[in-house]
Structure formats: structure tokens, C-alpha cells
Structure 1
Amino acid sequence: MKFGLQLGYWMAAPPANAGEMVTAAEEAGFDAVFAAESWGSDAFGPLAWWGSRTSRVRLGTSVVQLSARTPTSTAMHALTLDHLSGGRAVLGLGVSGPQVVEGWYGQPFAKPLQRTREYVDIVRQVLAREAPVTSAGPHYPLPYTGPGASGLGKPLKPITHPLRADLPIWLGAEGPKNVALTAEIADGWLAIYYAPRLAGMYNEWLDEGFARAGARRSRADFEIAASCQVVVTDDAAAEIERMRWVMSLYIGGMGAPELNFHAHVYRRMGYDREVDEITELFRAGKKAEAAAAVPDEMILDTAIIGDEDHVRAQLPVWEKAGVTMLLIGVPDLESMRRIAPLVQG
């Protein structure tokens, strides 16, 4: 099982130590470094800037949002990063949620599965560069012939020859239909809030996709990168307490009350009552009470927290559950020093 460093997206300002963390991750033996985006910093810029200090680690987006760019624009970003890094780019895509898609990008959120399938097809056409890129739509018609069209648009091939036609595309997916689609059309799954005890359920979703006609991969060559908080500490209780606040935000405050994909993930884990309570408290502005309502089990289902012996003993559990990469956040060089022996085996 490999390790990936998750840089995430920026908050109010760029992180002060990201460059040295990327360098330290490569030295420690990490397989990849990933950057994210929400509605502030983008994912490609940090990878190009800080990734230029590296020579081996893969550089991945986890994730770039479909609605932020047209499929051809995303393909341009990916092929550019792939050339600059000598073939180390991984394109991670995700649909985001309606609050961001419609509120920030001004795009409709409807039919995310159809949009994803069409989007990935166009990106692959660009990377293959076998013929001018076309799409019948309905979400990303190429060339555009709808209202306001000049009638002058024509199919084009990228001027720049992509370095790799098979640049890997991974999808961020949370629900059963989206995970099945991921297994069908993608090269890997970026899994958030993955719980090893539910591996059987995830495998059913994945197997549905692998079994579809024309599926791109099989389980043997498909990557599962699971986001996981891995913390080596002698004070697990304090770390769990810190995580309660983050988890209450994602469960109770991310997305609309009637459509929160993160909350749905925890409902599938069996935490219906807890999700209801956390959401009610968070929406009422009682954030401390919402954090206190997060039980330890909700955190430990998707995290590994403890001393080095405990963490080392838990890693095989995740690998046995089918995870090929643990995608972890490491806040500072001291934490990286503690993690490095685990990465190195």
C-alpha cells in the first residue's frame, strides 16, 4: 500500500510550509502529492509550483471540480502539468455539490453522473489526439451549435501533443452509483471517509462497474486512494477531540441540509441518529455542542490515531480492505518525521 500527501486547498492564505512538506514527502518515500480546490485556491497551480522541486512523486488533483472548467480546458491543464512533470500527473475529478456548482460557478448541478461520463469522454479524446474532438452533448456539446452560436465553430485537436494518452483519471465519488461509474470509466477512485469495515459494500459498488461492457479497468489494475487521517501520537484523545470539530463541520455544515453528500456517507455507516443530532446542532449555531455530539467511533472508522505500534498494526487492515493508497494530510515536518518510518515500511 502506497502513501499520498494531501495538501488540500488553501484557507485565508497559502500555507507557509507546503513547499518543504512536498520535498519532505518525496524524501520520505511518498508515492504522490495531491492538491485540492473548493472556492479559493485552484489545484493545478500549487502542483506545478511546488511539484517543480520534486523528480519522482506523482502530482495529482484531489479533486478539480467539473464545473470549474470545460472538459477541454481541464484536459489542457492536465496535459501541460504532465509535460512539465515528465509524466507524473494524475487527474482527479469530482462533481462537488449544488451549493458550489450553482452558487460559485453559476452552472446547473443536475445529472452529475451523465455530466461526469460525458466530461471524461471529452478529456480522453483530447489526450488521445486521434481526431478532432467532438461531443453530441447534451452537457458539453462540441462544437457548440446552441442559442447564440455563430455557426463558425469547428472540431479541433490539441496543438500540443499530450505526453501520455493514458494519463490516469481518478474520480472522487461517495455514493453507490457514482462509485460504480468510477469503476467503469476511470483508472482510480478517490474515496473520502472510507471505512474498512464496509469494504464488502464498496466492493459490491465497484464490481457493478467493473462488470459493465467496455469497463476500462479490472480490480487488478484499479487504484483506490482513500483519504485517511493518520496521526502518530502519544495523546490519541487530544487528537480525536480536535477532529470532532472538523467532522461536525463536514457532517453538519457542508452542503445544504437536504443534500449533504458527506452526511449520507455516515448514514450508510449506520450513524443516522448521530448525523441528525450533529446537523441540528450545527445549523442552530451550536458548534461546540455539535462537535461534542461526534462519538469517537465516527472518527476512528475513517482514521488511524495512536502511537507508532498502533498505527503500524492498523495499516494492514486498510490494505486488506482493498486500499492501494492512503491519502493523508501531514501538517508539519515533525509530523512527517513520525510518519516517515511507516511510509518506508
Structure 2
Amino acid sequence: MRIGIQTGYWSRKPPTGIVEALQQGEAAGLDSVWTAEAYGSDAFTPLAWWGSHTSRLRLGTGIAQMAARTPTATAMQAITLDHLSGGRFVLGLGASGPQVVEGWYGQPYRRPLARTREYVDIVRQVIARERPVAYDGEFFTLPIGGDTPGATGLGKSLKPTVHPLRAEIPIVLAAQGPKNVALAAEIADGWMAGFYAPSADAGHREQLAEGFARRAEERSAVEDFEVAAMVPVVVRDDVESAADLVRPHVALYVGGMGAKGANFHKDSLDRLGFAAVTDEVQRLYLDGRPQDAARAVPTELVEEIALVGPAAKVRADLGRWEDTALTTLLAQGDPASVAALLG
């Protein structure tokens, strides 16, 4: 199992010390670095900057929001970054949620699976550069016709002027619900999980198998399919103090990263058997009590989805993830904690 770093969302300003941490990690065998975006920093620009200071690390968007860019614009960025990095780029895509898509991007959040399928189809067309891009779907039409309100009717099918470095750039889909996981296995080159617990591995394998059964023959081999998961890693002298640093992270996702009744992160933890806990955490968070919400996250839940405690315990617990379908563990944490996984 490969170890990567998930740098996460920026807060008020860029994180410090990332370049040095990545260079040290690369020397120690780190596989990759992944970036996130919500409604602040974007996922592509940091990879260009940090990637220019490394030579081997894979560079992944984890994830780029599909609502933020048209499929062709995303493909352009992927082609560009793949060239600049010498073929190290991995395109991680995700649908985000209705609060961000409708509130930040001003787009309807409907039928996200169908929209994802069309989006990936177009991105692959652009990168393959076999012919001018043309698409007639429910969500995307290229080129638009003259009967489209406001259109001139002069649009034409185009293909990128830049020749891609690779005819295929790996596409990883972020997914949490069972149908979304199956879709990733069907149409993508990898799946990025949010809260991945080893105890739920059997169910995840079933969802992946469902998608693999529908996979087109021309897609990459199932054996090469990447399964990545973001796992908080906190090395401290005792478990409770380490868990204390993860509790606010869980509370944020359960309470603040989605609406009541429409929170995919909470749903993931509910499927692990923590519905009663997450109901309370969400209630406290939505009541404006984030600190109380964090305190309501039990250590048992933290240890299901994170690696916490003394370094020896963290390395021993890592074995639980090594026995799962994961091929890449994306560590979230301070550089010293991540280094414990590489030691």
C-alpha cells in the first residue's frame, strides 16, 4: 500500500512548510501529494507550485469540483499540468454537494451520477485528442446549436491545440454512497473515499465489484484500479490527546459540510453504525456549538477512521488498512505524524 499526503483545505492563508515536507517525504518514499478545494483555494495551482519542487511524487487533485469548471476546461488544466510535471498528474474529480454547487457555483444539483458520467466522457475525449470534441448529452452539448437561446450558431467542434503528453490521464472519482462507488469502479481509474473504515471493507469491495462488472473492455485493467482514502494521522504520546485533534475534523464534516438531511459525510459514518452519535454531533454543530460537537465525537469513532496515538501504535494499526482494498492511504496530519508511517 502506497502512502500519500492529503494537504486538505486551506484556511485563511496558504499552509507553511509544505515544500520542505514534500521533499523530505519524497526522499523517504512518499508516493503522492493531493490537494482539495471547496470555496477558497483551488486544487490545481498548488500542485503546479509544489510539484515544481519535487521530481517523483504523483500530483493529484483530491478533489477538483466538477461544478467549478466545464469538462473541457478541466481537461485543459489536466493536459497542462501533466506536461509540466512530466506525466505525474492524476485527475481527481468529485460532485461536491448541493450547498456548494448551488450556493457557490449557482448550478442546480440534480442527477449527479448522470452528470459525472457525461463529464468524464468529455474529459477523456479531449485528452485522447483523436477527433474534434462533440457531445450531445442531457447536461453537456458541444458545440451548442443556433437554436440555443443567445447562441450565434457559429460554434464548431474543436480539439486541443496542445498534444497531450499521455493519451490517458488517470481519473479518480471521489464517492461515498454505494451507487457512486460503483460508478467510480465502472468508468474511472480509481476511487477516492472519504471516511474509510477497515471494518466496512467487505461492503466497499461489493460496491466496487458491482461497478467492475459493468466496466467497458477498453478501460484500464481492474488490477490497476486505485483505491485511495483520506485517513487522519496524529502521533502523540497518548490516544486521547491525539483523538482530540481529530474530533473537530469529524464534527466539521458531520455538522458543517452539508445540510441536515443531505450530508454525504454523515451518511458514511452512519453506515458504520454511528448514526446516534452523528445525529447529536450534527445537532450541536448546527446549533452553533462546534466545540461541544467535537467533544461529542467518541474515541471509538475516531479510531475507526483515523490513526491516532503513539508512533508504535500508529504503525501497528496501519496493518488494519493494509488488509483492505486500499492501494493508497492519503495521510492527513502534521509532517512528523505522516513521517511515522514512512519510518
The match for 1:17 is: 17
2:148 matched to 1:174?
Answer: no
Give 1:288 deviation, angstroms: 2.6
Counterparts of 1:144 and 1:233, CA distance in 2: 57
CA contact 1:5–1:25 (8 Å) conserved in 2: no
2:281 aligned partner: 278
Q: Is the 8 A contact 2:315 2:341 kept in 1?
A: no
Q: Residues 51-72 of structure 1: CA distance to partner in whole angstroms, max 9, x if unpaired?
A: 1011101000000000000000
Aligned counterparts of 2:40 and 2:278: Cα–Cα separation in 1: 28
Distance 1:277 1:90 in 2: 37
After superposition, residues 324-339 of structure 1 pair within 5 angstroms as 324-332=327-335, 334-339=336-341
Specify the code of the residue in structure 2 equivalent to 1:110.
R
Deviation digits for residues 9-48 of structure 1, max 9, x if unmatched? 2111111212222222212211111111110111110000
Query: Structure 1 counterpart of 2:100, which letter?
Result: V
String of CA shifts for 1:143-190, please: whole Å, max 9, x gaps.
022221110001001000001112100000000110000000000111
Mapping 1:211-250, distance limit 5 Å: 211-214=213-216, 216-250=219-253
Deviation at 1:326, TM superposition (A): 0.5
Check whether the contact 2:233–2:338 (CA below 8 A) recurs between aligned residues: no
Indicate how the Cα distance of structure 1 residues 293 and 206 shifts in structure 2: closer, same or farther if over 3 A, else same: same
In structure 2, the partner of 1:55 is: 55
Unpaired segments of 5 or more residues in structure 1?
none
Out of 149-158 and 308-317, give the one that drifted further.
308-317
Give, in whole Å, the separation in 1 of the partners of 2:337 and 2:306. Answer: 15
Question: CA–CA distance in 1 between the matches of 2:26 and 2:312?
Answer: 23
Give the 3 Å change call, closer, same or farther, for CA 293–33 of structure 1 in structure 2.
Answer: same
Q: Tell me, yes or no, if structure 1 residue 200 matches structure 2 residue 208.
A: no
CA spacing shift, 1:317–1:218, aligned 2, 3 Å: farther
Equivalent residue, structure 2, for 1:35: 35
Contact kept, 8 Å, 2:332 with 2:338, in 1: the verdict is no
Instruction: Report SS of the residue matched to 1:138.
Output: coil
TM-superposed CA distance for 1:264, in Å, is 0.6
Determine the C-alpha separation between the residues in 2 that align with 1:218 and 1:197.
Answer: 26
Instruction: Name the CA distance, whole Å, in 2 between partners of 1:223 and 1:336.
Output: 21
Residue 189 of structure 2 is aligned to residue 151 of structure 1: no
Q: Distance in 1 between matches of 2:128 and 2:52?
A: 25
Structure 1 residues 322 and 337: alpha-carbon distance in aligned structure 2, compared to 1, 3 A threshold: closer
**How far apart in 1 are the matches of 2:320 and 2:220?**
24
Contact 1:9-1:43 within 8 A present in 2 as well: no
* Alignment correspondent of 1:2: 2
Q: How far, CA to CA, are the matches of 2:294 and 2:227 in structure 1? A: 29
TM-score by length of 2: 0.96
Overall identity of the aligned pairs, in %? 54
Please state how far the C-alpha of 1:316 moved relative to its aligned partner.
Answer: 2.4
Contact 1:83 1:162 in 2 (8 A): yes
Distance 1:268 1:338 in 2: 30
Distance 2:57 2:162 in 1: 24
- After superposition, the Cα gap between the structure-2 partners of 1:270 and 1:316, relative to the gap in structure 1 and judged at 3 Å, is same
Measure how far apart 1:213 and its partner are.
4.9
How far is 1:219 from its partner?
A: 3.8
In the TM superposition, residue 278 of structure 1 has moved relative to its aligned partner by: 1.1
Unaligned runs of 5+ in 2: none
What's the secondary structure of 1:257's corresponding residue? coil
Q: Secondary structure at the match of 2:132?
A: coil
- Secondary structure in 2 aligned to 1:127? helix
Shift of 1:312: 2.1
Partner of 2:79: 79
Render the CA deviation track for 1:289-318: whole Å, top value 9, x for unaligned.
222211111111111112232222222221
Change (3 A) 1:272 1:338: closer
Give the corresponding residue for 2:190: 188
> Displacement, 1:284?
1.2
Question: In 1, are the aligned partners of 2:25 and 2:339 still within 8 Å (CA)?
Answer: no
Contact 1:35-1:43 at 8 Å conserved across structures: yes
Deviations 1:86-118 (A, max 9, x none): 000000000001111111111111110011000
Is the 2:90–2:172 Cα contact (8 Å) retained in structure 1?
yes
In the alignment, the residues of structure 1 paired with residue 236 and residue 291 of structure 2 have an alpha-carbon distance, to the nearest angstrom, of 24
Rounded Cα–Cα distance in structure 2 between residues aligned with 1:149 and 1:222: 41
Instruction: Name the TM-score, length of structure 1 as normaliser.
Output: 0.95
Match of 1:90?
A: 90
Contact preservation (8 Å) 1:232, 1:339: no
In structure 1, distance between residues paired with 2:53 and 2:289? 44
Task: Measure, in 2, the Cα distance between the counterparts of 1:41 and 1:164.
Answer: 27
SS at match of 1:155: coil
Paired residue secondary structure (2:172): strand
